[in-house]
Structure 1
Amino acid sequence: MKAAGGSVRVRLRDGIAASDPGLLRLTAGLRTVGAIALALAVLSLLDADVTHLVAGAMAAMVATFSIREKQRGQQAVTLALGLPVALASVSLGALLSDRVVAGDFFFVALIFCAVYGRRFGDRGTALGLIGFQVYFLSLFVGAAVSGLPELYGAIVVAFLSSGLVRFVIVPETPAQILERLREAFRARLAQLVSAQLELLDAGPDEVEKALEGVRSGTARLHETAMMIQGRLEEGTSDEATARLVQRRIADAEIAAERLALLLLTARSAERADTLTLHLPGAPVPAGERLPVRDEATATLRRDLEALRMLVLRPVNGESGTALSHVRNRLLGYRDEENLPPAATAVQDVFRGIGEAARAVLGLRIALDGPQDESDDSPATARSREELDAEDAAIDAGEDDDRDEELTGLRRPTTRAAVQVAVGSSLAIVGGELLSSHRWYWAVLTCWIVFINTSSTGEILVKGYRRLLGTVFGVVAGIVLAGLVGQHTWTAFAVVLLCLFAMFYTAPLSYTLMSFFVTAALGVLYTLLHTYSFSVLVLRVEETALGAVCGIVAAAFVLPVRTDRRTNELLATVLERLAEVTEAAVDQLSGGPPVDLLDKARDLDQALADLRAAVQPLTHPVTPLRARRDTAQYVVALLETCAYHARSLAATAELLPTHPSIAADPRLRRAGRRIAHNIEAIAAHITDGQTAVEIETGPSIASLLEPDIPGTPRYGRVTDRVLRHLQRLDESVAGLARPLDVPVTAPKR
């Protein structure tokens, strides 16, 4: 019973870690709700009335969620600076409450400054948010000059409560966050192996669903790897440690994705394309080749389960020798003589399991430190030696900041500040026509749809989602207001639950976040004795108006068209892809070592930016179906290219430590066509009038024919390198058709 209870707790812990990497959403919700609850408790002991309780709760929320810096010292400075900003903002709100025109002009100026402040980083963004939201607070509670002392007191209590919760009650350090993200990576890696096991066992009618699970698991694992990348600098003790963790995370991610591709190939009658793992709805390779009750299949199933166990359970002194034997067996598959008798494609899967086990071993050593080596087999000892040699070869590189510094209206923050100022001006005029008392809801919506958006299409989608969440939230607000009535503390408890749900779901769904905040507002209106059905309907009207004003401003004031934005990001992705590919091929050809991991992660980040920018084109409600399918296909091809480029980079970094992989100068000849094609596509994207063509021709392998007859064809370059180059060449050439790039006919 004790073991069963422990197993349930472990599964629950792993499930939570996988669903909320780093517990970032849970921590954000707990901090915000804790700060609000503490502020309410203190204010109630001071006999504050309901208006000041609401003001304190809103100020505590703003003071908590606005600060996004990662170091605790920086957070404390920003919180301290935020208090005078909040006091000045509420003072001006009260002073200008009776001066409608002056108040409107100041509100627009404040909005401009708050958005423009984003150019100064996290601190500028936080202070801008505090200034805007506290001014909005003054409008919401109807602040007057005579009531400023009480409001000052409520805001000071709110900021002190936020600081106490952040630094004492729910503290967290960058190292703690990184540790939880590592656990999330392990949990998601185990989930991906489980999805691969389901793909192995899936029947003909179940394979589509199983493959979709593998795609989802692969994407979730990559998401966690990128989150870890963003926390390495602050969460590790030195740069060498950060680079070691970065390397091991990348190895595990590549090994897991390669294992999925090998498994899909083994169970099919034809070789699986990497694109199948990245394109939603891509057809499954035809045919069934893997016997269901074959001995090799049963061994494969057992070893996948063993790999999942290795991911979740460390091999140490407390786990006995059973796990050590399992690990030794899996690592033994890296030697040809230990492969079970089976078809070549199935043996490739066993090789993939061996490489995945090696990646897990490296991940364990990097995250947990040295382990007991007394039960190592020769294969395990050799893997440790390889990992140790790689660790010793890791050298900290210097960042190369090549980004162009934009100025004037070309700077995104300046452009956005002008756009939101114009949109807010329209929202003020329209909002006051709808209601002279609730007009600020339109301004709030206009402000929010501009946050973290870069194109007209993104603003349109965000406005649609906010309106949808608001409509459903109004219905929920009506129900909740009727249930809680005038029970003050019950109402505050409901508001806290809604706010926790809002912050917990915010990274997952903007619609859900809008739903919960609107439901909470319905209850707050009840507390302020201003609730009515017409007020909530007005909330929907003002939200729709604010979204329309934001879209109009984005479309006609210094517009950034979705096509232009996606083309710029697509060109950046191609540039990063070219850099990674050329550097990896050069190193595999005998060139000097360079920092390939950072280049690969720059490519991943550029691809993530593009993926976010094309959401308006791929949204389910878009009427342009052909355009949506093209965007999905292009992004999937680029994800395929990125996978093979990462794999080439990882292989190139093994050159100094692996005798089985040696440089071959002929690879430059093979990589020349890939580099040319990437540059040609990028030039076509940048300038559609440029006369460029994609080159096609014989396979990459045929380009490595020996210069001297009778010499070995491939030298010591592994077959895996050639496969990655061939797939990369095919994927880059595949971009030509959807992007309308001319293709040169193969030379005879």
Structure 2
Amino acid sequence: MRAAGRSVRARLRDRIAASDPGLLRLTAGLRTVGAIALTLAVLALLGADVHLLVAGAMAAMVATFAIREKQLGAQAVTLALGLPVALVSVTLGAVLNARLYVGDVFFVVLIFCAVYGRRFGDRGTALGLIGFQVYFLSLFVGAEISSLPPLCGAIALAFCASAVLRFAVVPATPTGVLLRLRLAFRARLAQLVSAQLDLLDAGPDEMDKALEAVREGTARLHETAMMIQAQLEDGTPDESAARLVQRRIADAEIAAERLGLLLLTARSAERADTLTLHLPGAPAPSVGQLAVPDEATATLRRDVQALRALVLRAGSGDSGTALAHVRNRLLGYRDEENLPPAPAAVQDVFRGIGEAARSVLGLRIALDGPLDESDDTPATARSREELDAEDAAIDGGEEPAQEQETGLRRPTTRAAVQVAVGSTLAIVGGELLSTQRWYWAVLTCWIVFLNTASTGEILVKGYRRLLGTVFGVVAGIVLAGLVGQHTWTAFALVLVLIFAMFYVAPLSYTLMSFFVTAMLGLLYTLLHTYSLDVLLLRVEETALGAACGVIAAALVLPVRTDRRTNELLGTVLDRLAEVTEAAVGQLSGGAADELLDRARDLDQALADLRAATQPLTHPVTPLRARRHTARYVVALLETCAYHARTLAATAELLPTHPSIAADPRLRGAAGRTVRNIETIAARVADEHAAARVETGPSIASLLGSDAGTPRYGRITDRVLRHLERLDEAVVGLARPLGVPMAEPRA
């Protein structure tokens, strides 16, 4: 029973870790709710009235979510600086509340300074956010000069409660976050292997659903790998340890994605296209039952299940003989040991399982240190030797300095000007709608500019906020009717809604807006200012604020969605060319380079592009053809990134792997691919560029590869396959991007 209980707890832990990598959302929600609850408890003991309770709750929420630094020391400094900023802001709010024009002008100046402060990093962003939100708080509770002393005391208490929760009750150190992210990576890797097992067993009618699950699992695994990359510098003791974890995470991600492609190929009538794993909604290739003996099918299914068990047990402290036996059997496939009689495509799956098992072994050694080697087979010993040699070859490198834009071209300055203009419009329009609640329009205008960089992104965010607000008003009406004048019941529901708001914020902006509006309905009830007209006015002010934000973004220093996506597309292509050229150069015998760092730069640039294309791929966009084109281009780029990432990982093995040798011919054979990437980038930057994309013989024929070379067992063959797929994907980019094709060379 105890073993069964541990199994259930482990499954529940893995499920939670996979759904919330690093428990970042859970931590943010608990910390914010705890700070608010502590503030309310102390204020209640002191006999504070409802206005102070509401002000303290809002201040505690602001003091908690505004701080974004990773290190606890930096968080403490920002929180300490934030308190005087908050006190000055609420004092000015109380003083200027009765002075109509002066107060409005100051509010606009404050908004400009708060947004401009983003250029100074996380601390500048936090202090600007605190200044704006506390000024808004003073307007919300109707602060007056006579009520300043108790109000300032409530705010100071809120900051102290936030500090207690942040540093004592729910601390989140970089090392702890990284540890939880590693658990999430393992859980999501196991989920991806489970989806691949379903793909293996899926019938023709279930294939599309199984393939979509593999796509989603691959994307979620990549998302977690990127989150780990962001935490490595602060969460590991030294640079070498960070680079070791980075390499092992990259190896595991590549091996898992490759295994999915091999499984899809084994189920298909022909070799599966990598694009199928990256294009949402792409139909699965025609499939049938595996044309292999029943014994081989059963063995394949058993080994995929064994790989999943190996992933789940990695890092659990279990080093028993059974686990070692499973690991040794799977690693043996890398050396052609015990391969069952089957077609070549199916045998490739077994080899892919062996490569995935090697990546899990490397990940476990990197994260947990040396393991017991007493049960190792020769194949396992060779894998350990390769991993040890790779680890010894790791050293640090320095990040090149990036050029910063100046003046109005700097994003923070441009956004500050835009939001100041939009807020001015929102103040004027909001005053016309309501002389008491006009600040809701300003708040919406402010919020739609947060974490956006183009007019299209602001339009989508404004639409989502308005949609969430409309449904939140309905929920607020229902909750206000149920709660009535029960103060502590209302505060309990407020805490629940705040937790839900923070927990869903990274997943759905619409849901977050829904919970915010429902919470505000309860706060109005507590302040005895609730009415249906007030909630309807909130919808009107929200719509007005979103419209003012869009107008300001469209007319003042506009950044069109096309321009933004073209800039990011050019960055992705530049990074792709850099990774490909550096990887091929190293595989050709050139000098070693920081390939995995370059590959992660490519992944980050691609993530930025994917986010920027959301206005183009949004379901309600009227430009259907444009939406399909944007999705297709992003999927092609993800395919290119996968092949480039794999080439980079293979090239990094060159100095230590006995089966990889440099081939000088690769540089010449892959030169066309690099030139094509640069040609497309030039065309994106200047539509009048005259260069054309080259086509011609395959990479293998340019290299003069022998037809008798085994399809597997020679790393060169795998490198060639990735180069050819990359070349095909790059040529495929030319058509949707309107790049002309050159006549094939003889």
Confirm or deny a common fold (TM above 0.5): yes
- In the alignment, which residue of structure 1 is the partner of 2:677? 678
Contact 1:201–1:292 (Cα < 8 Å) also in 2: no
How far 1:283 moved relative to its partner?
Answer: 2.1
User: Which blocks of at least 5 consecutive residues in structure 1 are unaligned?
Assistant: none
- In the alignment, which residue of structure 2 is the partner of 1:723? 721
- In the alignment, which residue of structure 1 is the partner of 2:205? 205
Separation (CA, whole Å) in 2 of partners of 1:386 and 1:711? 24
Are 1:658 and 2:642 an aligned pair? no
Provide TM-score, normalisation by structure 1. 0.98
Are 1:302 and 2:297 an aligned pair? no
How far 1:288 moved relative to its partner?
Answer: 2.0
Contact 1:317–1:372 (Cα < 8 Å) also in 2: no
Count of matched residue positions in the alignment of Structure 1 and Structure 2: 746
Separation (CA, whole Å) in 1 of partners of 2:708 and 2:199? 44
- In the alignment, which residue of structure 2 is the partner of 1:732? 730
- In the alignment, which residue of structure 1 is the partner of 2:236? 236
Q: 1:516-539 CA distances to partner (integer Å, 9 max, x unpaired)?
A: 010000000000000000100000
Q: 1:37-64 CA distances to partner (integer Å, 9 max, x unpaired)?
A: 0000111111110000000000000000
How far 1:338 moved relative to its partner?
Answer: 2.5
In 2 relative to 1, CA 608–595 (structure 1 residues): closer, same or farther, beyond 3 Å?
same
- In the alignment, which residue of structure 2 is the partner of 1:183? 183
Contact 2:314–2:360 (Cα < 8 Å) also in 1: no
- In the alignment, which residue of structure 2 is the partner of 1:698? 697
Separation (CA, whole Å) in 1 of partners of 2:713 and 2:312? 39
Taking only the aligned residue pairs, the percentage that are identical comes to 81
Aligned 1:150-165 pairs, distance under 5 A: 150-165=150-165
Separation (CA, whole Å) in 2 of partners of 1:739 and 1:320? 55
- In the alignment, which residue of structure 2 is the partner of 1:427? 426
Residue 669 of structure 2 aligns to a residue whose secondary structure is: helix
Contact 1:663–1:717 (Cα < 8 Å) also in 2: no
Separation (CA, whole Å) in 2 of partners of 1:230 and 1:194? 27
Separation (CA, whole Å) in 2 of partners of 1:263 and 1:713? 16
Contact 2:203–2:288 (Cα < 8 Å) also in 1: no
How far 1:747 moved relative to its partner?
Answer: 2.0
- In the alignment, which residue of structure 2 is the partner of 1:622? 621
- In the alignment, which residue of structure 1 is the partner of 2:412? 413
- In the alignment, which residue of structure 1 is the partner of 2:131? 131
Are 1:535 and 2:544 an aligned pair? no
How far 1:568 moved relative to its partner?
Answer: 0.1
Q: 1:646-672 CA distances to partner (integer Å, 9 max, x unpaired)?
A: 000000001111121100000011111
- In the alignment, which residue of structure 2 is the partner of 1:273? 273
How far 1:289 moved relative to its partner?
Answer: 5.3
Q: 1:290-317 CA distances to partner (integer Å, 9 max, x unpaired)?
A: 1487221111110011000000113887
Are 1:114 and 2:114 an aligned pair? yes
How far 1:320 moved relative to its partner?
Answer: 2.3
Q: 1:9-47 CA distances to partner (integer Å, 9 max, x unpaired)?
A: 110000000000000000000000000000001111111
Contact 2:293–2:342 (Cα < 8 Å) also in 1: no
Residue 68 of structure 1 aligns to a residue whose secondary structure is: coil
User: Which blocks of at least 5 consecutive residues in structure 2 are unaligned?
Assistant: none
Contact 1:694–1:743 (Cα < 8 Å) also in 2: yes
In 2 relative to 1, CA 319–241 (structure 1 residues): closer, same or farther, beyond 3 Å?
closer
- In the alignment, which residue of structure 1 is the partner of 2:259? 259
- In the alignment, which residue of structure 1 is the partner of 2:361? 361
Q: 1:481-510 CA distances to partner (integer Å, 9 max, x unpaired)?
A: 011111111100000000000000000000
Contact 1:316–1:371 (Cα < 8 Å) also in 2: no
How far 1:711 moved relative to its partner?
Answer: 13
In 2 relative to 1, CA 727–535 (structure 1 residues): closer, same or farther, beyond 3 Å?
same
How far 1:336 moved relative to its partner?
Answer: 1.8
Residue 205 of structure 2 aligns to a residue whose secondary structure is: coil
Separation (CA, whole Å) in 1 of partners of 2:417 and 2:623? 30
Residue 287 of structure 2 aligns to a residue whose secondary structure is: coil
AA matched with 2:732: G
Separation (CA, whole Å) in 2 of partners of 1:116 and 1:545? 23
Aligned 1:566-585 pairs, distance under 5 A: 566-585=565-584
- In the alignment, which residue of structure 1 is the partner of 2:8? 8
- In the alignment, which residue of structure 2 is the partner of 1:742? 740
Separation (CA, whole Å) in 2 of partners of 1:468 and 1:315? 44
Residue 334 of structure 1 aligns to a residue whose secondary structure is: helix
Contact 1:29–1:503 (Cα < 8 Å) also in 2: yes
How far 1:319 moved relative to its partner?
Answer: 4.5
In 2 relative to 1, CA 507–318 (structure 1 residues): closer, same or farther, beyond 3 Å?
closer
- In the alignment, which residue of structure 2 is the partner of 1:28? 28
> Which 10-residue stretch deviates more, 713-722 or 635-644?
713-722
Are 1:82 and 2:82 an aligned pair? yes
AA matched with 2:651: A
Aligned 1:327-476 pairs, distance under 5 A: 327-401=327-401, 403-476=402-475
> Which 10-residue stretch deviates more, 282-291 or 577-586?
282-291
How far 1:287 moved relative to its partner?
Answer: 3.4
Runs of 4+ in 1 over 4 A off after TM superposition: 315-319, 709-717
- In the alignment, which residue of structure 2 is the partner of 1:587? 586
Contact 1:706–1:712 (Cα < 8 Å) also in 2: no
Residue 734 of structure 2 aligns to a residue whose secondary structure is: coil
Residue 205 of structure 1 aligns to a residue whose secondary structure is: helix
